[in-house]
Structure 1
Amino acid sequence: MLKKTIAVACAAAVLAGWGVPMAQAASRATSAVSDVELSWTGWVGWVRITWSETTPSANTISFERDGVAPVQLGTRTTDGANELWVTTSKLAPTDDPADVGRIIVTDSDGGTARSVDFDRYIRTAPSPTLSFTPENGVKWSIPADTSIDTTAGDPLDAGSSRTTYYLELRLNEPPNYLLNCRRVYLNSTYPGALSGVIDKYWSNKPFSITMLSLNAWESARIGGSAEVGGTGLTLTAPAATAHGKPFVLTGRLNDRGIFQTASPPVCQERELGPVANELVVLQARNSGTSPWYVVGTTRSAPTGQYSFSMMNAGTREYRVVVPNTTRAGILSFGGTTASKVVKATTQVVSAKFIAPVLTYGKRPQAYLWVAPGGSQRAALQFRNPNGTWQGLTYKTLYAGRGIATFAWSRRGATPFRWWVPASTTSTGLRVEPVYSGIFTLTVR
């Protein structure tokens, strides 16, 4: 009985002796490293990690996420500082606010300490909604960010209001950065702004839009996109027609856009096809300095063709305008053609001799009737034997008509013509001068 008691006592003593070192080892394993703190540095895109230790130790610093194996970020030697700077790219920025992570610091004995959970959220900007401004700019807007911050108040919280959205425009014009693509970056007006305006400077030029977002976690996250198209527009017009006579203006509408291929992209401004049922506005003005006014509207045919049938009321300048519109969900700039001058020439209704055949000694009577009718002072000319046109007499017309009676002593057939000077219509439009057709007097 005494032996058994002694044995139990010895066993207890041995166990007690073992217990002291084990407790110390456990304490060291759990308390050597602690207080893992996170903060932003003064350098954009860098995070500072610090920790405390009860005794100096070599450390391994890792990034941990639920369901993902930890990723080692760096190490520190026993005599190294308890601090590590890492770039945000190593912490896997994400547009999932529920994806949280933490920093683990491990000492040489396997003891660990963790930081608070933090998200690395940066919103991926959606495709923008586009509309035209009265000044011919393009307004873009995106909806508010409705995501829930699952780690509100964490030390690395960028906050959705600190996200800046900006746009990359690509268009085909110099200077070219990517082959024949020009890239233009437009910032939103202030951090967190959900809308902005693409200045009218870019109007009438097709371009593509890529939305980009920026916050402390990432400098340029590529988001949604949109296209802004343009209008290819032609106009064909006669150079001149007679006053009061009909003429036709014709042209064609084509959709235009930026076509991107390859990587890096090759920007090509292309005609993408005819535009059907588009409003086409014909404008005119009376001189190069007078204001434009509308003289007609029509709609383009399925082939993109359009036409206007006009009566020539006087010399005017014409152009065709297509307003800004939306085609197949894509905002498209309208267009304006180069102007075309269509002259109105005086219309010679009749130019003849009352009696084209006379006996020698009779006085011929040359008749003229023109439109628009006025008091033009017309000149009667004949072709002399040398083949040169020579002035003979003048006649001031009344309401555009007149008869010139003159002496003539040359036998045979002689060609005549009238020259009619320019005039002005009652609406102030110029009518250009004209020569009549040739008519013949025969004297026997």
Structure 2
Amino acid sequence: MSSPFDFYLTRVGDELVLRQGVNLATAFAPLKRIVVVGGGVTGLTTTWALLDAGYDVTVISEKWASLSDRLTSQIAGALWEWPPAVCGKHTNLISLDNSKRWCMTSYRALDKLMHTLPAEEHGVRMRAANFFFEQPLTNMPGQLEKMLEIEAEKGIQGFEHDPTLVTKHAVNQKAGVVDSYRHLSPVIDTDQYMAWLRHTVARKGARFVTARITGDLLAQEDKLLSKYGATAIINATGLSAYETASDKTVVPLRGALIRVINDGSRFPKVEEALCVSHDDTHGADAEDIVFIVPRNDKTLILGGLVQPYVHTLDLTIDSPEIVRMRERCNAFVPGLENAQLDPDPFVQGLRPFRDENVRVERERRLKEDGSMSHIIHSYGQGGSGFTLSFGCAADVLEQLEQLEAEIPYSERNFLAVAHL
């Protein structure tokens, strides 16, 4: 495996860029300690960026990525998408400008990662992603605008608008789609990537504390800063930000995926992502999403379930909505109904959505003594955690630099020395 010191993240303007070579920022960095709360893709990507910026980072999480008890990040569809994502169409379309900037930072970072290390290490692959529509895009203003933005974004590779794409794939010609476009997208094998990401930040020096933090972080901020000798806390707790940030706009979007074997033996092997977005003309609650994505060279994931405000994880592969989701996918790819289930065939999770927008900002509330908080939030990414991860991490670094500029040097030095 390649050394983690052969590649590093650095912020250039508002971009987080992956580079190879010697990272001088860590060679001459002063002692600065940060606590990151949250071990998902947002927390660990932010940790990576902080480490490469010269910070000493402790990550606190109740659990870590594993195959026996998957994190929400592992259950994600993890197809890079220009926002709003296919499975985010049921959500509010607020403050998309930041998301569009963040997603392109992640696109470029993931593309560079694929050219830096083999996919067998990190599980990221570039695949064609095809998006199909039941109406001409000229009749769908929102989807047309999204497609034109993708076409205009020169960083997105392989764009093509072609209504006849359905005839060029192993797609049911009776699926009812009449328009389509495609482009290349990073696709992440989440189990492999999350294990690799934790290994990478560990080798770069991150410390891991397995613990559950309950309650509002603001009320325990001084205690945590003192305990770890840190100058700031990064809150990347996802859905738990309802509690840790006392943010009642954080709500779950329940989703689920079926995993089948994609070896070409029972149906034509699917090599590209095939997606049908929600059509507003069917009503807000219509079940019409199709999400078919090759997770790796052996596994195909089938999805398309979005259930806002549902907190329970009590679905099974035989639940009515899961059966209907599978039937929508089956109707799209001939022979898919014959697919053999993966040994681990069904996963479900709660996407951490925030009604107002994705939150990457300083804590606005004052502490009890009236002083400014040293908490920076990064949560509410919904089903786009991987798509936004590097971009959000870049903005956290910017927020942290602004925070540090307000902290007297003597206070920073005292915190660091006190923890030695």
Q: TM-score range by the shorter chain?
A: under 0.3
More strand by share: 1
Relative contact order, higher structure (CA 8 A, sep 6+): 2
More helix by share: 2
Q: TM-score, normalised by structure 2?
A: 0.18
Report which of the two structures shows the higher radius of gyration computed on alpha carbons.
1
Q: TM-score, normalised by structure 1?
A: 0.17
